[in-house]
Structure 1
Amino acid sequence: MTIGLFSDIHSNLPALEAFFEDLDKRDVDTIYCLGDLVGYNVWPNEIIGHIRQRKIPTIAGNYDFGIGRNSNECGCAYKTKEDKANGAISISLTNELISDKNRKYLRQLPAHIRIDLQLNDSPQNLLLVHGSPRKINEYLFEDRAEKSLLRIMEDADADILCFGHTHQPYHRILNSGTEENPHYRHAINLGSIGKPKDGDPRGCYVVLQMDETFTVKDKDSIKVNFHRFEYDVEKAAKAVEDSRLPNVYAQNLRNGK
């Protein structure tokens, strides 16, 4: 089984189109989107249109949750007053641009998707969330204490936990068993399609590969492949600059921040 996973598009149409072009070259069995379709750029309706046209199973990101309810809050952890003020402009513009039909679509997105894998006689659980299993806007950064991350995964009964929200890709393998009788769990942050924050402006997504040999006792029996792709960053940045959105969002796209 091969699964394509992506997240955090944030109304970046050139990035989404390039992502589909890149993904379509790969042999994947199914695709899932982990939310935050909208915000920070000018194409929320076009993004949702592509997702709906392809009938991609999608969960709500924190931004989708807010816009779906016509809220002026997105659940974002802005660090400064300037960031918060800029964020308010983005939320306001997105609420103006979104169609009634697409607002309803966002409002109806599920909070998570759980997939019970039956590849062999030892079932495994794949859990797809936006922030964390506990909260839609909880940030699970790569440096989170192992004990804390492991507890979150155990409480959620997740052998494989895939998420986004931080826009910073990583894969951590944790053992909730013993050295003699291991139970390996995989925490996978997909990065971001349309708003990377790891210093690389290219979009990022993940392809998981598993077959009938997959087992929680072998940490290498699942392949986690991170794929970066080029897209027309200048087109996305220029769209920001031609709108009332803060120009800093254009520079962030160019710098991958």
Structure 2
Amino acid sequence: MRVGLVSDIHSNSPALDSVLEELERLEVDRILCAGDLLGYNAFPNKTLDQLIEYDVTSIRGNHDEAIVTETPSNFNIPAKRAVDWTRRQLSDDEKRYLRNLPNKRQMSIDGKNVVVAHGSPTNPVNQYVFEDDVTPQILDHWFSSKPDIVVLGHTHRQFEKSIGGVKIVNPGSVGQPRDGDNRSAFAIWNTEKDSIDLHRTEYNIEKTAGRTRAVLPRELGDRLSEGL
């Protein structure tokens, strides 16, 4: 089975379009999303429509949670404005969809035990986990019984690491990469080969940036071309 892994879409529907096209071309069987469907960009409704149409198995990220609860005081001003604006764009049904998403998933796929969290398995909404943070010690802290694969998001930085038979992967950000590469990031997990392939794909950045600048702080649109 080939499983598409995505995260941190952040209301960037043009980027999601490109990623979904690539996932179709690469013939994935299903798609998992590690949270932050919305926030930062200006296509929240279309983004949710796409995720529902493609039957993406998602969890709730910190921006998704902020949209359906209250805006956190620790968000910077552009992020706060994007959350508040997005909240006003959503229908009751769309808010209910976000609210009903779990903040972590544990499941079996093709006989493999899978954990999906936006932050970390023990702090699924807010903790940042970078590649250098992933050590045997942190796996022992996270799990008494270790899964086969852990899918994380939140950092907007793509990596794959294997420790003691556990694969840890952050597919990177579809909608707002922060590693200096402005292309959308995603990954594919091949359950039969037990392999992870990291991918990037180009999208129409100016389409997203232009619309985002029109309704949200300009810096949110400007940063997309920089990949930062």
TM over 0.5: yes
1:197 to 178, 190, 198: 178
Give structure 2 stretches of 5+ with no counterpart: none
Deviation for aligned residue 1:209: 0.7
Superposed displacement of residue 153, structure 1 = 4.2
TM-score (norm 2): 0.93
- State the shift of 1:149 in Å: 2.7
Task: Quote how far apart the aligned CAs of 1:106 are.
Answer: 0.3
Tell whether the 8 Å contact from 2:122 to 2:142 is kept in structure 1 after alignment. no
Select 1:141's aligned residue among 125, 130, 140: 130
1:45 to partner: Cα distance:
1.1
Distance in 2 (CA, whole Å) between partners of 1:49 and 1:26 is 22
1-structure distance, mates of 2:206, 2:109:
41
Query: 1:224 aligns to what?
Result: 196
Aligned-partner residue type, residue 38 of structure 1: L
What are the within-5 Å matches in structure 2 for residues 38-53 of structure 1? Answer: 38-53=38-53
On the 8 A contact 1:68/1:105 being kept in 2, the answer is no
Q: Does 2:98 align with 1:101?
A: no
Offset of residue 241 of structure 1? 1.4
Amino acid at match of 1:198: D
Deviation of residue 5 (structure 1)? 1.1
What CA deviation, in whole Å up to 9, does each residue of 1:119-150 have, x standing for no partner? 4xxxx411111111111111111121614432
Structure having the larger proportion of residues in helix: 2
Matched, 1:188 2:175: no
Deviates more, 1:164-173 or 1:107-116: 107-116
1:160 counterpart letter in structure 2: I
The residue aligned with 2:118 is 130
**Percent of aligned positions with the same letter in both sequences?**
33
Match of 2:187 in 1: 206
Provide the rounded CA distance (Å) in 2 between the counterparts of 1:97 and 1:174: 42
| Superimposed CA distance per residue, residues 9-51 of structure 1 (whole angstroms, 9 cap, x where no aligned partner) | 1001110111111111012121112211110111111111111
Change (3 A) 1:151 1:97: same
Superposed displacement of residue 172, structure 1: 1.3
Distance 1:153 1:171, change over 3 A: farther
CA RMSD of aligned residues (A): 1.8
Runs of 4+ residues deviating >6 angstroms: none
1:1-257 matches, within 5 Å, as: 1-69=1-69, 71-73=70-72, 84-117=76-109, 119=111, 124-135=112-123, 136-144=125-133, 146-155=135-144, 157-175=146-164, 184-211=165-192, 222-243=194-215, 245-257=216-228
Q: Which runs of 5+ in 1 are unaligned?
A: 79-83, 176-183, 212-220
TM-score (normalised: structure 1): 0.83
Whole-Å separation in 2 of the counterparts to 1:113 and 1:156? 15
Q: How far is the alpha carbon of 1:65 from its aligned partner?
A: 1.4
Report the AA paired with residue 87 of structure 1.
A
CA separation of 1:156/1:46 partners in 2, compared to 1, >3 Å: closer, same or farther? farther
Bigger Rg over Cα: 1
